[in-house]
Structure formats: structure tokens, C-alpha cells
Structure 1
Amino acid sequence: MTETGGRSEHDSIPEIALGWHRSGRGAVLATVIETWGSAPRQAGSQLAVSGEGEIMGSVSGGCVEGAVVTEALEALVDRRSRVLTFGVSDETAFAVGLACGGTIRVLVEPVGDGEQALSEAMLAEVVAARAARRPVAMAVAPETWARSLVLPGQDGAIDARFRSDRSGMEEDGRFIAIHNPPLRLVVVGAVHIAQALVQVARICGYDCTLIDPRSAFGSAARFPGETIVEDWPDEALEALAPDARTAIVTLTHDPKLDDPAIRIALRSGAFYLGALGSTRTHARRVERLQAAGYSEAEIARIHAPVGLDIGAKTPAEIAVSIMAQVTARLRKG
């Protein structure tokens, strides 16, 4: 799959729409704003449509796309945004991918000029924020077509949406489209568990980075296609600047490598920090951190022994237990 600005095409709908518009082909963004029943695509899912009928993305996975494309091409002509509602009976649900019936509402916005259109400038701001890993939300009120960009810290209700990665309708009638930076997983220690962990993490949508100054461990032969940093772990983590979309896992079992990374991670914005090792190993780790001046609250951020207790034995099973714990921390707080 090709990449656009570091994102795969299915995750790059705003970038693709902006590119189509600037190339003169015309562009429309279609966004799921509400769902009921068994709709296969959640609120925030997007489809880009060019004036030449090209599409990228999805709003349902069925024949709803055909109707949306037709409306999108009309929107390019009349320069008017619209909200489409598709109600699906159980008898016809399978044809549109709503396997148990359901209803979806889709916002269709032409890009460019027009009082109701999504301006090129606003779409470009969203694309720039995404490229810089800055979270941003686009708010649109379908009753008036007023639009605004909202940053974290500006609206408490939208802050909750940033934390949960959840686009949707607000009680005041605005649709909030959340654009969070991609999730990142930083793994310290290119060991055998890491080989399985990065594969599971990628399936879960994470960008992965491996840190290991030992070239024999962090080799391209053992981790084909992965980003490998051979700097000392604390230096590498400082350069990566972990944020609230970053999970960090240390796997080396070696305090000389794990401890420097953990010290940086504890005072970073990372939402998850897990460390491999037994309960006894972690107790000694806690003693070292306390001696270094870390507080009880800071040390309590460490998930150790890392992963959910599912009785995992093999590297692959341990990787599953780690990603399950990371997911629980991300989604449930």
C-alpha cells in the first residue's frame, strides 16, 4: 500500500482530497457523522471523491458509496454541503454491508469556494496539523454550515473525544471530526518478544520504533522494514519526544538499557509504560528509581511485569498480552 505523508492511503483521506483539489480535479469529503445499528464504519470514517469520479476511503463498505459518490459529484457543481441519511432494513442490509440493519448519516462537503463548502485553507490547516503530529478537531454545524478548528484544551467535551479517539455529534448539533496523530509504539530492546510485538502493534495501527544500541540485536535481518535506532535509549527517547499518543515498552532485562529509557518515559507525555521482568526484578527497579528521586506516583505509572496476566508463555502470546494492556490503557484510561 502506498504512503501519503507517512500515512497509508486509507488513513490519508484529507491529504488526498486536498491534493485532488489543488491539482484542479475537484474534491469532495464525505464523512460518517452518526450511525445506528450495525453500521460497519464508525463516525469519522471518510471517503474522498474527485471530480473525475475517483474514490479513496469508505463510509460503509457497500452500495451506499455509490449514492454518496453521486451526491458528491452534484455537490461539486452546486457548491453546497449536505447531510445524507441511509436507513437500511434487515432485508436489504446485507447489500450495503449493514449486516443486521441500521442507519448512517453522511456529511458531504465540496472543497473550495462556496458559502457551504469546506474551504481549502481550513482543509490545509488540518493536513498541516496531521503532518506535524498536532491533534486537531474540525467542528461543523450542519444547520448553519459554520466551521471551526478546535485544539486540545479549548473545549472540555472535545478534549474527551481527543482522549477516546471518538468523532461524533455534540448535543449542540455540531459534528466533531477528531484528527489525532498516529499512535506510536516505542520498543526498547530488539529481542525475540519485540519481533512479535511490532507485528501485533502494526495490525493495531501503531507506528513502531525499535531502540537498541546493540547492532547484533537491532538488525534489519531480524526486523525487516522496521525503524531501528541504535542510539542509547535515553538519547533516542528524548529525540522521539513521546506524547499522549505514544506507548513505550522496555524489554531488554538489562538495567543499563531499560533504566535510562524508563527515567525519560516517566516524565514524558506517554500514555503507557510497560517493563518486562519478574515481580522481584521490578522491586529492584523501584528501589533504583526511588534512589534517583522519582516519586511514588511517577513509579506507579510503570506496568510491570508488562502485559495482562493471561498465562502467556511464547513470545507471540506475550506480545498479545502487552498489546491488550496497551489497548486497555488507551481506551479505558
Structure 2
Amino acid sequence: MSDNAKILSEMNDRSREVFRRVVEGYLGTGDPVGSRTLTRTMSEQVSAATVRNVMQDLEYLGLIQAPHVSAGRIPTQAGLRMFVDGLLEATLGDEDRDKIEASVGSSEADVGKMMDRVGNALSGITQGASLVLAPKHEAPIKHIEFVSLAADRALVVLVFADGHVENRVFVPPPGQTPSSMREAANFLNAMIDGKTISDLRGLMAAEVDARRQEIDILAHDLIEQGLAAWENEGERSERLIVRGRANLLGEGADPADLDRIRSLFDDLERKRDITEFLSLAETGEGVRIFIGSENKLFSLSGSSLVVSPYMNADRKIVGAVGVIGPTRLNYGRIVPIVDYTAQLVGRILSGPQR
């Protein structure tokens, strides 16, 4: 039993109710909840003094705190975690379900457009910012180009035969130069001939050995390590879609958090932390919730992330959907929305059941 579960199990009904109402009140309004407010909503008739005593006990346990000189209390990060793990009541409303189904559609003919719709829908429905990690595009390639961005960062531009274009950021082997990257791209473009990335990877070892003298050792490393990073088990070059950042940067945002939130989304939109995002969902099925500093990707913004993976027909995790917002999220509504969206995307990508 975890420490939070033990604490919750040892609480009496009154302490549990006070704690739950403080958290729900804060999540609903963003304001501290005072003892007089609680006495009007408690299921049993108790005095404000009794409620204050209970609140002092909860504060001693590190579950609630006073944000300033105030009689009111708000939950701590530890309190929010305990609430989410042990007291959260999550239900998907019919209206939210209908909106999700209408936005996602029922066809996988154009996965890219579907994932864009999913991102827009999650952002619009939750009034948060949505994160969608779309599966890789696997079609014949027409052209490849490598662009050096920094000593430890490079961009590969993939132009597919169907007109789809993707820009993927990756970490190149040490010592790469613009010249070696051009040479690597020329080598790959000469052997593309309608092949997919998977096809290319199958040919790489033999082709590199056969034409080893035609490229220098740095370009050789770039090809081997670059393409291996795209196709190896645990691939990390999927497309990250960010929608609704204005929902976190609008008039209702805390001015003290604006710069940190902007920095977070700048990082995400540059795809620097795409590996981190997918790794959040890879440890198992179902929704995961990260509050504040529980995950380093979001700790600087003081935000929470609700994320769930989706799978293909082979039950392999191929992407993830999530919502990021302030720690004062309506978890009871957001969690089932993210969960249902992930399940729906997975069913569509898996195709008709046989």
C-alpha cells in the first residue's frame, strides 16, 4: 500500500470529506476554501471550529496549505495526487462523448488530418492545450535532406511520394558537418526509388558495405545511426501536434507563469522533448496523470498533464494523446475525455474488427 493510500485509509469520514471538499472547491474556483464555507456544505452539521481543527490536521499531513495570510486552504501537490489516486470520481458526459466522436470521425484514410482534428477537439472541449503524438507516416519516400541546426541537433526533411512532408529533429553522431550531411542525403536519395523508410533500413547494411569508399566515415555514421533511430524498437521520430496553447496564455493565466508556460510550449513545438512525451505513456495502458514537478518535462510550468497511449491492431503503442493545463484541472472530466479519445483513435487505426 502506498503512503497516500495508507493515509487515506486511516482518515475518518469527516476528515476525508473536509479534504475532498477543499480540493473540489479549489479545482472549481481556484480560490482557497475556508472553514465557514465548508460548514455550509458538509453532510453532517459541524461547527466552524471543528472544521478548522480537521483542516489543521490535514495541513500537518502536508495535504493542504494556506497560500497566504488567509483562513482558506488549497491542496498541496501531494494533496492533489492523493485526491486523484483515491477520491477522484471520473465520468464521461454524453455531450463530451458526442463531440469527441464527431471530431475524430470514423475513417483512417488520412491519419494526419484525423490527428489534427483530435488535437483541435481535445483543446476545444477541455479548454486546455492538447498534445497529440501521431504515428509515423510510412509511405514511399521521394526525397531526403539533412539540415544541421546545432552541434547536437539536426533536422531531416522527408518528402513522401504521396506529397506528405515531415520535418524530424534528431541528435546526429558527433562530428557531423554540413558537407557530410549533404553526402549522406545524396547517398540515400540515389537508392530511394520508391522505398519506405523500413525498406531502406533493410538495405542499409549491405549498401553501406558495398559503397563504403564512396562516403566518408562521418556520413556513414550518420546514415547508420540516423536511420536506425527512426526504425529501431522504441522509435522516437513521431509527429507531435500541439493545439490550444492560447488557452493557457490567455487573460485568465497567472502572469507569473506566462513566461514559463511559453517556454514549455516553445520546447514542445520545436519537438525537443518529443521523446519525453511518448515515454510518459509507454509504461502501461490507460491514463496517467502528472501533477506539477512529478515530471521534469512539465515541472517548470507548474502544470499538470493527463496522457494516454493508443495502440494499433497489434496492441503496440504507436502514439499518445494528452491535455496539459494548470494543476487546477477538472480531473474528473478531463481524465475520461483523454481516455475515451485514446481508445477511439486506437480502434480507428486498428481498422474493422474481424
TM-score of the aligned structures, taking structure 2 as reference length:
0.21
- Give the structure with the larger helix fraction: 2
TM-score of the aligned structures, taking structure 1 as reference length:
0.22
